[in-house]
Amino acid sequence: MYPQALRILVVDDNPLNRDLVRLQLEEFGFAVETVCNGEEALLALTASPYKLVLMDLHMPVLGGRETIRRLRATDGANRDVPVIALTAQTCGSDRETLKVEGFNGVLYKPLEMDELAQTLAVFYPEAMSAANQAAAAQPGTWPCLLRRANGSVALAQLLLTRLMEELPRQMALIMQALDSGQREKALESAHKLHGSAAYFDLNDIKAAADTLERLLIAQVKIGEQAACNRLAAAIDAFLLQRDAIMAEAALASAS
**For the chain, which domains are there?**
3-135 (3.40.50.2300), 157-243 (1.20.120)
Give the residues across from 34 on adjacent strands.
10
pLDDT tens profile 45-84: 999 999 999 999 999 999 999 999 999 999 988 999 999 9
Q: Identify the segments of the chain with pLDDT beneath 50.
A: 1-4, 133-141
pLDDT tens per residue across span 96-120? 899 999 999 999 887 877 788 888 8
For the chain, the three-class secondary structure string (H helix, E strand, C coil) is CCHHHCEEEEECCCHHHHHHHHHHHHHCCCEEEEECCHHHHHHHHHHCCCCEEEEECCCCCCCHHHHHHHHHHCCCCCCCCCEEEEEEHHHCCCHHHHHHHCCCEEEEECCCHHHHHHHHHHHCHHHHHHHHHHCCCCCCCCHHHHHHCCCCHHHHHHHHHHHHHHHHHHHHHHHHHHHCCCHHHHHHHHHHHHHHHHHCCCHHHHHHHHHHHHHHHHCCCCCHHHHHHHHHHHHHHHHCCHHHHHHHHHHHHHC
Q: Tell me, what's the pLDDT at 223?
A: 79
What pLDDT, on the 0 to 100 scale, is given for residue 198? 83
